[in-house]
Structure 1
């Protein structure tokens, strides 16, 4: 089984899609789609990051992005496109926007940053879940019951461990990452 993060590269220009795939292939499991229709078949719950071109025949990158979000896939998405950003991007559910031409280091840095954000999102969701369970039990059980219950002790240990992991992840994020992540968490909670 491959433990590498999964990245989907979507571009209707085969040479460019293959170039991005080559740039990322040594660090990630990369799936390549040469158009929007093919892309929606490649993106599933195992994908960590999708790099999507906006202007493609048959199915645009905007439509691919909408399909990914409508299906509830929780991957990070970067639009990698020659389309200069305009106000229409405000309502779009992507996590990063790169304007072509894109340099190798910029692409690799973006994927790495998106993976860190995805880790942070998952950690925050798990922390809130554990905190909710912990608080519910603390209000209903006396301290002696909590201290002697193995399942509660495991929950409490995981809660403390996760808080430490979140601190490490936060150190890797910068201000832009926080803004995007918080916006996404608020959108997912409403």
Structure 2
């Protein structure tokens, strides 16, 4: 398991802040990126978990998911989206997502999903 941060990738600054506040309480180091390209451009150790929004400008979350899995193959990626169609969930899981969380989410749901990803 990487000693890197948990990486939060979402174009919505409010969602990034909310997720950072939730995860900071668990004592994890954190990094943020406003889109997939910004996430891929980050320097430093690989993230230990990525929380990735699906619908972002410049690069879709699905496209970012594939590139993140290629760059950091051992890093679990949890997709977060306001869309919960079975097709999207299946597509994200087939592309390598470790889990799928639907917005709006409860803080305990995020904490539990991250802990499961870290334990896997």
| TM-score band, normalised by shorter chain | 0.7 to 0.9
Q: Is the 8 A contact 2:46 2:72 kept in 1?
A: no
Unaligned runs of 5+ in 2: none
Residues 115 and 38 from structure 1, CA distance in 2 versus in 1: closer, same or farther, beyond 3 angstroms?
A: same
Note the 1:5-154 alignment, pairs <5 A. 6-26=5-25, 27-42=27-42, 45-87=45-87, 88-117=91-120
Of the structure 1 ranges 73-82 and 39-48, higher mean CA displacement relative to structure 2 is found in: 39-48
Distance apart, 1:89 and its partner CA = 3.4
Q: Which has the higher helix share?
A: 1
Q: Distance in 2 between matches of 1:53 and 1:34?
A: 10
SS of aligned partner of 1:52: strand
Q: Is the 8 A contact 1:4 1:28 kept in 2?
A: no
TM-score, normalised by the number of residues in structure 1: 0.55
SS of aligned partner of 1:97: strand
Distance apart, 1:23 and its partner CA = 0.8
Q: Which has the higher strand share?
A: 2
Q: Is the 8 A contact 1:55 1:61 kept in 2?
A: yes
Counterpart of 1:170? none
The structure whose RCO (Cα within 8 Å, separation 6+) is larger is 2
Q: Name the Cα RMSD after superposition.
A: 2.0
The structure with more radius of gyration: 1
Distance apart, 1:35 and its partner CA = 1.5
SS of aligned partner of 2:84: coil
TM-score, normalised by the number of residues in structure 2: 0.85
Q: Is the 8 A contact 2:5 2:31 kept in 1?
A: yes
Matched positions, count: 115
Unaligned runs of 5+ in 1: 118-190
